[in-house]
Each structure stands twice: as structure tokens, then as C-alpha cells.
């Protein structure tokens, strides 16, 4: 990181206390020296300084009333990072941990991820420190309505197109879309993605991130002459990404033996019963401990964070940032893991990534492995623009093509820059070059 070291120091100084943002920037910058050495025009145009400063950052008050009539005040965020390739695109996260640094880390990652999909979408991210856990439907609706009452001024199908993330699924997108439609008096389908399929949503969008992550894993294994068939897979999380990662892994012949939530994890040696998991998590919005109780002797619930102690051939962290530590990585390597793909955003700490790379484990960073979600969001935007709706099979095939394209472009870029098999280098450089070239072409903005 020689060329970019002074730039990074300046980023630390100007964005104090935003640890996750620092981590995400560092992880990209430390791979870019070879590009900057070959292409001095990118240094002269100060592409990195410009890229690390969001085009716009919005922070706003979100007041709402709970079912007992008490008033709460949350903070809303939307960071519009880069629109050089298309309208800002990226999800909304509702979780008590949300702050500006987390939204900026997610928005920064999103720029490169969206570029990798090859679709015309820029990068942005948003959310709130609102905690949806334990809230009634009516409370969720009032919160979403209040959030959108401010956000609607800043978004639009050609401007900024939010979607879901942690704590924001189909229900929340429905309430957000309803309020946008009411305030603007426009049924502007392309303003949000992740909509219900009967009112402008895309088939396979719900499944896309998890499916895409597993398809990417299968591609990595294929490039090493292996497949997922017959392999044991460990998954963390039990939300949208985790559930559909489990589904696709099972379809490809793997046995998925774990999943988790913030209370602990379950181990099910016979393989996760997906119908039971969906019923608990998607229908009843329950806790993972209940899975073990209802599954009986096959499964056990273990409180805490030890999910990576379970032996597996492939590990798919699908919960949240920095959930897989150096120690976890050492355990996984000791247990013979062959592939790790990030379904979540930045779930693997930098030290853990190094452990995998030193052990020659195939490691896919989130900006490549979980790009299937946003890519299918872009497919949803295409369907909205042409007032069309595609079948599940067609949409899934488009997703599979996109994941193959992302895999191949990361793979060949890593080789071109002298780091064969290093998907972190491949993803960062391939995404960066697309964005940087567009920035050069569009002048000093």
C-alpha cells in the first residue's frame, strides 16, 4: 500500500471514528498499487480522493409513535456515494448498530459491487438505527412512513433506488413504497426494488443474494476441478441471504449443517430442514433456538458465536460485518475448509482473510459473492422500465449468467495483475477500473 498510504492517512483524518468505513477503504486501497503504477493518469485525476468522498450524505430525523402512544426519535441516513455508472443503488438497513460509518462502508463497497455486475447502477446505501425486533406490524408501518416522508425528496427511478438489507425485507419495502406513492402521487415502480411480484417486483429477487453467493462458490470450486455436490456447508445468519444460500446449496447437492442468529447457532447433522426454518424465520419471525426445539434429536442449539467451529468444506458467512474472526478462520482451515464466500457484507475480518489466503482457501469477498442481489434488483428495474415481468426460470438464468461473468472477471483480472486465484485483488481492481474509467470520461465532477 505504498502509493495510497498518504491518501489513506488523509481519509482517517477526515472521517474520524468511522471504523468500518476505514476498514472497507483500506481493504480496497491496499490492492490498488499495481493499477496506479500502470496508470498514472488515475493518480493525476485524483480518482481515489474523489471516490472516497460521497457525492452526497443525508442525515435526518425520523420521529414515530409506538402502539402505546409513546414518541420515539430515530436517525435516518442515505449516503449517495457514486452515480458515475448509473443512479445510486443500494439497500436500507434498520438495525440499532447503524451509524454514518457503517452506512459509508456499505455504500463504498456498493460502488465496486455494482460495477462488477456490469449493469448501469451507481453506489449508495442508507438506513436507520431503528430496531425492528419485537415491534408490531403497525409500528413498523408508522416507522417506514415517517422514514419515507423525508427520504422521498432524495430518491427516484433516475436518481437513487433503495432496496432491502438487514431488517428491511418485503414487508418494509411495501410500506416504504406505499408512502412514496402517496406523497408523490406516482406509481413509480423503479424507485425501490425488492417489491412484491404482483406490484412491480421481480421473480427471484428474494432468492438472488443467497443463490448468487452459492453459484459463485460453485464457480470457485469448478475452477479447482471440484463441485458442491456431496460437500458439507456451514452458513451463518438465518435471514434473507442465509435462507436462500441454504436452499441453493441443497439444490446443488450439498448438506448444510448450520445456521444462526444473534442468540446462537444450530447444528443439524442431517441437514437443515428448510421448510421448518422458513416457517420459523419468514412466517413467525421467531428465534433460531426454536428450530432445535422443534427439529428434535437431529439438531442442537448452541448459544453464542461458535458457528465456525463446526467442520465444513465450504463456509458462507451470511449475517453481518466482522462476524468471522482470525481465530474462526484458523479453526476452519484446521478443519479442512476449501472455499469461503461472503454472503454478508465484510463479515470476514482482514486478519481472517489473510489466514484463508495463506492457506490457499478459495475466498470470495462480498462485493463479488453477494452481488447477485443487486444485480437482480437491476433486472427488476429493467422489467419496470419496460413494464414487463419475466418468469422465475428466465430471471434465475440471467442471475446465473451474471454470477459467472463476475467470477470470470475477478479471476482473469487477478491473473492479469499477477495474483492468480486472489478474488479480493480481482474484484477490487475489476470494479475500480470500470468506475475510474467512467470518472475520467465524465470529467472533474
Residues forming the active site? 125
Q: Which of residues 101-160 bind ligand NDP (CB under 6 A)?
A: none
Given 166, 302, 434, 435, the residue binding ligand NDP (CB under 6 A): 166
431 is an interface residue for ligand NDP by CB under 6 A: no
Looking at beta carbons, which residue is closest to ligand NDP?
Answer: 239
Nearer residue to ligand NDP within complex by CB, 35 or 319: 319
Q: Which of residues 235-254 bind ligand NDP (CB under 6 A)?
A: 237-242
Nearer residue to ligand NDP within complex by CB, 223 or 262: 262
Q: State residue 58 phi and psi, 5-degree precision.
A: -115, 130
CB atoms within 10 A of CB 30: 17
Given 83, 345, 383, 422, the residue binding ligand NDP (CB under 6 A): 345
Given 20, 165, 172, 328, the residue binding ligand NDP (CB under 6 A): 165
Task: Convert the chain into a string of H (helix), E (strand) and C (coil).
Answer: CCCCHHHHHHHHHHCCCCHHHHHHHHHHHCCCHHHHHHCHHHHHCCHHHHHCCCCEEEEEEEEEECCCCCEEEEEEEEEEEECCCCCEEEEEEECCCCCHHHHHHHHHHHHHHHHHCCCCCCEEEEEECCCCCCCCHHHHHHHHHHHHHHHCCCCECCCEEEECECCECHHHHHHHHHHHHHHHCCCCHHHCCCCCHHHCCCCCHHHHHHHHHHHHHHHHHHHCCCCCCCCEEEEECCCHHHHHHHHHHHHCCCEEEEEEECCEEEEECCCCCHHHHHHHHHHCCCCCHHHHHHHHHHEEEEECCHHHHCCCCEEEECCCCCCECHHHHHHHHHCCCCEEECCCCCCECHHHHHHHHHCCCEEECHHHHCHHHHHHHHHHHHHHHCCCCCCHHHHHHHHHHHHHHHHHHHHHHHHHCCCCCCHHHHHHHHHHHHHHHHHHHHCCC
422 is an interface residue for ligand NDP by CB under 6 A: no
258 is an interface residue for ligand NDP by CB under 6 A: no
CB of 212 to ligand NDP, least distance (A): 9
Nearer residue to ligand NDP within complex by CB, 114 or 179: 114
Nearer residue to ligand NDP within complex by CB, 361 or 375: 375
Distance (Å, rounded) from C-alpha 117 to C-alpha 375? 6
Nearer residue to ligand NDP within complex by CB, 81 or 417: 81
Radius of gyration of the chain, Cα coordinates, nearest whole angstrom = 21
Given 164, 190, 365, 431, the residue binding ligand NDP (CB under 6 A): 164
CB of 9 to ligand NDP, least distance (A): 28
27 is an interface residue for ligand NDP by CB under 6 A: no
190 is an interface residue for ligand NDP by CB under 6 A: no
CB of 135 to ligand NDP, least distance (A): 13
CB of 371 to ligand NDP, least distance (A): 8
Q: Which of residues 349-408 bind ligand NDP (CB under 6 A)?
A: 370, 373
CB of 324 to ligand NDP, least distance (A): 11
Nearer residue to ligand NDP within complex by CB, 124 or 436: 124
Nearer residue to ligand NDP within complex by CB, 217 or 436: 217
CB of 429 to ligand NDP, least distance (A): 21
Return the range that interacts with ligand NDP (CB under 6 A); candidates 138-146, 221-229, 313-321, 416-424: 313-321
Distance (Å, rounded) from C-alpha 124 to C-alpha 56? 9
426 is an interface residue for ligand NDP by CB under 6 A: no
CB of 227 to ligand NDP, least distance (A): 24
Nearer residue to ligand NDP within complex by CB, 47 or 374: 374
Distance (Å, rounded) from C-alpha 52 to C-alpha 82? 9
List the x/- string, 193-232, binding to ligand NDP by CB under 6 A.
----------------x-----------------------
CB atoms within 10 A of CB 251: 11
Binding site for ligand NDP (CB under 6 A): 164-167, 169, 209, 237-242, 261-262, 318-320, 343-345, 370, 373
Amino acid at each position: 500500500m505504498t502509493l495510497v498510504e498518504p491518501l489513506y492517512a488523509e481519509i482517517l483524518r477526515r472521517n474520524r471514528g468511522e471504523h468500518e468505513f476505514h476498514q472497507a477503504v483500506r481493504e480496497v486501497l491496499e490492492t490498488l498499487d499495481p493499477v496506479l503504477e500502470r496508470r498514472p493518469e488515475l493518480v493525476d485525476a485524483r480518482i481515489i480522493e474523489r471516490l472516497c468522498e460521497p457525492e452526497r450524505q443525508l442525515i435526518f430525523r425520523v420521529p414515530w409513535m409506538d402502539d402505546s402512544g409513546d414518541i420515539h426519535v430515530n436517525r435516518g441516513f442515505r449516503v449517495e456515494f457514486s452515480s458515475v455508472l448509473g443512479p445510486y443503488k443500494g439497500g436500507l438497513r434498520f438495525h440499532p448498530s447503524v451509524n454514518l460509518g457503517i452506512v459509508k462502508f456499505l455504500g463504498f463497497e456498493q460502488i465496486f459491487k455494482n460495477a462488477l455486475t456490469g449493469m448501469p447502477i451507481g453506489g449508495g446505501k442508507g438506513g436507520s438505527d431503528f430496531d425492528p425486533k419485537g415491534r408490531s406490524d403497525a409500528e413498523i408501518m408508522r416507522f417506514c412512513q415517517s422514514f419515507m416522508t423525508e427520504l422521498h425528496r432524495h430518491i427516484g427511478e433516475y436518481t437513487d433506488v433503495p432496496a432491502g438489507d438487514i431488517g428491511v425485507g418485503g414487508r418494509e419495502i411495501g410500506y416504504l413504497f406505499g408512502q412514496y406513492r402517496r406523497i408523490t402521487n406516482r406509481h413509480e415502480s423503479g424507485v425501490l426494488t425488492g417489491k412484491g411480484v404482483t406490484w412491480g417486483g421481480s421473480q427471484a429477487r428474494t432468492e438472488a443474494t443467497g443463490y448468487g453467493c452459492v453459484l459463485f462458490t460453485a464457480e470457485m470450486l469448478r475452477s479447482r476441478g471440484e463441485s458442491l455436490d456431496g460437500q458439507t456447508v456451514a452458513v451463518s445468519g438465518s435471514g434473507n441471504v442465509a435462507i436462500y444460500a441454504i436452499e441453493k446449496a441443497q439444490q446443488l447437492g450439498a448438506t448444510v449443517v448450520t445456521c444462526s442468529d444473534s442468540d446462537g447457532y444450530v447444528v443439524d447433522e442431517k441437514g437443515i430442514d428448510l421448510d421448518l426454518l422458513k416457517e420459523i424465520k419468514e412466517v413467525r419471525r421467531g428465534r433460531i433456538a426454536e428450530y432445535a426445539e422443534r427439529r428434535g434429536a437431529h439438531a442442537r442449539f448452541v448459544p453464542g458465536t461458535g458457528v465456525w467451529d463446526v467442520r465444513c468444506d465450504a463456509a458462507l458467512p451470511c449475517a453481518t460485518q466482522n462476524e468471522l474472526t482470525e481465530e474462526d478462520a484458523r479453526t476452519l482451515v484446521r478443519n479442512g475448509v476449501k472455499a469461503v464466500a461472503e454472503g454478508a457484507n465484510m463479515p470476514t475480518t482482514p486478519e481472517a482473510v489473510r489466514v484463508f489466503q495463506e492457506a490457499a482457501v478459495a475466498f470470495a469477498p462480498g462485493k463479488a459473492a453477494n452481488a447477485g442481489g443487486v444485480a437482480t434488483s437491476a433486472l427488476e428495474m429493467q422489467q419496470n422500465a419496460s413494464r414487463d415481468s419475466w418468469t422465475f426460470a428466465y430471471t434465475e438464468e440471467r442471475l446465473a449468467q451474471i454470477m459467472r461473468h463476475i467470477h470470470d472477471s475477478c479471476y482473469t483480472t487477478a491473473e492479469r495483475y499477477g495474483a492468480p486465484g486472489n478474488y479480493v485483488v480481482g474484484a477490487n481492481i475489476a470494479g475500480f477500473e470500470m468506475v475510474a474509467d467512467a470518472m475520467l470520461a465524465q470529467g472533474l465532477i
